[in-house]
Every structure is written in C-alpha cells, then in structure tokens.
C-alpha cells in the first residue's frame, strides 16, 4: 500500500507520482529519497527556500497553503526495488473520488510517464488538464535540476 493523499479541499493543483519508492515507504513520507528532486523543484516553483531541509509536516503544510494536493496514481503494486519499470500488478488509486472532493481543482500534474499513464486510465474523459511532467526521480538523470525546474515551471505556471 502507498501513502495517504495530502490535500486541502481548496486545492487548485493535484500532483501525482506513480508509487512511493522504498525510501518513501520506509519513512512514510512522499519523496523521501535524498536525491529525488521533488522538494527542490517545489521550493523553486513556490519561492519557498530549501524545502528539503524543513520538517516533513511543514513541507506538507507549505503545499496545502499553496493549494497543492499530493498523491500517487497507483495505490498498491508488486515491485522489487524502486523503479517504475519494475511495477507489476498495479492497483489504481481512486482518483475519481479524490477529484470529486476538490471542487476548485484546475489541473493534474503527473510526475513522470507512469503516473501520467495511470491517471489517464483512472480518469477517462476528464475535462481537467492532465499534464505529463519530467520525473523528479534520481533514476531520470537525463535532465538536471535546473531543467526540471524550468519544465515544471512552464507547465504549472497557469495553475499556481
């Protein structure tokens, strides 16, 4: 099983990962791997200094304050290690139920290809924009941090 969704019902943006990696599951925290760029990317987008250095609950409060919800597209799966390519028997999260609880939601941002694919399967015909963003995972080292920040900023600027 993955992690519970983090949200405030006033959220305008829902960020979906695929499924938590081993470090995140062990810590019971989203994006706990020290080389995952998620928290630095969000800090840059939200003009919040050094998000990774903050206590975890404070990071979540920062997302809520900026009207950003956080969850994963896969609720449960079989996987050895932390790579998305190793995910088997994926059980989707109930994205429809969460989206219904977010009346001011304007877009869904998918952190990587698998999150995007699973979201489109879970929400066929949604009128919300479903954006595929470069993965912040350290396994996707083709883009550096500055390029990831730039891509996320360009895609999400209308929704932040």
Closest CA to 43 of 138, 149, 150, 158: 149
Please count the other Cβ atoms lying within 10 Å of the Cβ belonging to residue 148: 21
Segments of 55-129 assigned E as strands: 68-72, 74-78, 88-92, 107-111
Which of 36, 111, 118, 135 is catalytic? The answer is 36
Does the annotation count 36 as an active-site position?
yes
Residue tagged 């209308």 (tokens): 158
Query: Catalytic residue numbers?
Result: 36
């Amino acid at each position: 099983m993955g992690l519970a969704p983090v949200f405030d019902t006033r959220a305008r943006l829902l960020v979906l990962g695929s499924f938590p990696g081993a470090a995140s599951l062990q810590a019971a925290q989203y994006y706990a791997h020290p080389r995952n760029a998620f928290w630095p990317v969000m800090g840059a987008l939200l003009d919040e200094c050094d998000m990774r250095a903050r206590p975890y609950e404070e990071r979540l409060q920062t997302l809520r304050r900026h009207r950003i919800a956080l969850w994963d597209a896969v609720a449960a799966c079989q996987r050895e290690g932390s790579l998305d390519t190793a995910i088997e028997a994926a059980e989707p999260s109930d994205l429809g139920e969460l989206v219904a609880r977010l009346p001011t939601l304007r877009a869904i941002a998918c952190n990587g290809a698998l999150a995007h694919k699973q979201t489109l399967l879970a929400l066929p015909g949604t009128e919300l924009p479903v954006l595929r963003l470069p993965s912040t995972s350290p396994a996707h080292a083709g883009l550096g941090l500055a390029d990831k920040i730039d891509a996320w900023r360009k895609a999400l600027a209308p929704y932040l």
